[in-house]
Amino acid sequence: MNVVIIEDEARTARQLERMLKQYDETIHILIQLPSVAEAVAWFNGNPAPDLAFMDIHLEDGLAFGIFEQLHLTLPVIFTTAYDEYMIKAFKVNSIDYLLKPVDYDEMVAALEKFKTIRTVPTPGGNTPASPDLNMLLQLMQQSRDKQYRERFMVSLGTKIRSIEVADIAYFFSEDKATYLVTKEGQSLPVEYSLDQLVNLLNPDHFFRVNRQFFVARPAIQTIHNYSAGKLKLDLTPAARHELFVSISRMSEFKDWLGR
C-alpha cells in the first residue's frame, strides 16, 4: 500500500509513520508534505497513492484547499484536533477522521474501514468521492461558534494555578513543550500542543502566526515590514526570540487584524 502523509508537525508525522509500520511493515510511505502548496505540486507530478493521511490545519491553510485546486478522488483519513462529536458527524459521510493525538487502535479501525471500501465495488466502478467540502466547512463553522476555553490549569511544583485566558498574552512551543505567557511576563507550561490549542482558543482573539507562536491581539505592540516581505512582531511582554509571521499566513494575519 502506498501512503502519503500530509502533516506540518514533523514529530506527529514520524509518530504516524511508526504506527503505520507497526500495523503493516509493507506499507510504503511515499512522502511527508507539510503544506497545501507542496501537496498540490506533488499530486500534480506524481501518480495518486492508495491512501492519504491529512492534517486539517497545515502550515499555509486548511487541507481542504488541496481539493479545491485539484480533482482528487483518493481515499483520505483526516487527522484533527476537533471535538469528538464532530468526528462522529464527519464519519456519517464515510470519511474517517482521527482525533489528535492519534490513537493506534483508532488508526487500525480507520485502515480496516479503508480496506473494506476499497474491496467493495462502488456503483459504476468509481473510486470513492472526494470530501463534501461544503458540509465540512459548515461543521467547522459550527465548531467556531462553540464555547472556547476561558482558563487553563497549570502546575507550579506541588500547586495548581488557574490562569484566565484574558490574562494570557501568547502561547509558544520550545523544546517539544508548550508554554503560556501572562500579561505580567510569567512563562508557565501547559499540557496542550499548539495543534490542540487551535480547537481551544477563540480565533477572534488568538492567531497562530507561525509554527511556534499563538498570539493574542493585545500582545502585538509593533509590526515591522522586514526583508523579503516578511512581517516582524514586537510583543508585550517581549518574546525570547525574534518573531516573524509565516509568509504563507501573512494575508490571513492581516485579515485577522482588520476584523
Domain with CATH 2.40.50.1020 in the chain: 151-257
pTM of the model: 0.51
For residues 144 and 109, the model is more confident at: 109
Whole-number pLDDT of residue 133:
55
**Cβ proximity of 17 and 5 under 8 Å:** yes
3-state secondary structure 151-171: EEEEEECCEEEEEEHHHEEEE
Tell me the C-alpha to C-alpha distance, in Å, between residue 12 and each of 114, 120, 214.
21, 31, 19
For residues 188 and 252, the model is more confident at: 188
Query: Residue 166 — very low, low, confident or very high, per pLDDT cuts 50/70/90?
Result: very high
- ω into 237 cis (within 30 of 0): yes
- Under CATH, to which class is 151-257 assigned? mainly beta
β-pair type (2-6, 28-33): parallel
Helix, strand, coil % (nearest 5) of the chain?
Answer: 35, 30, 35
Q: How far apart are CA 148 and CA 153, in angstroms?
A: 14
Domain with CATH 3.40.50.2300 in the chain: 2-144
- pLDDT mean across residues, the chain: 82
Q: pLDDT tens for residues 75-113?
A: 888 887 655 445 554 554 446 777 777 888 889 988 988
Fold category of 2-144 in CATH: Rossmann fold (3.40.50)
Whole-number pLDDT of residue 53:
92
pLDDT higher than threshold 70 for residue 246: yes
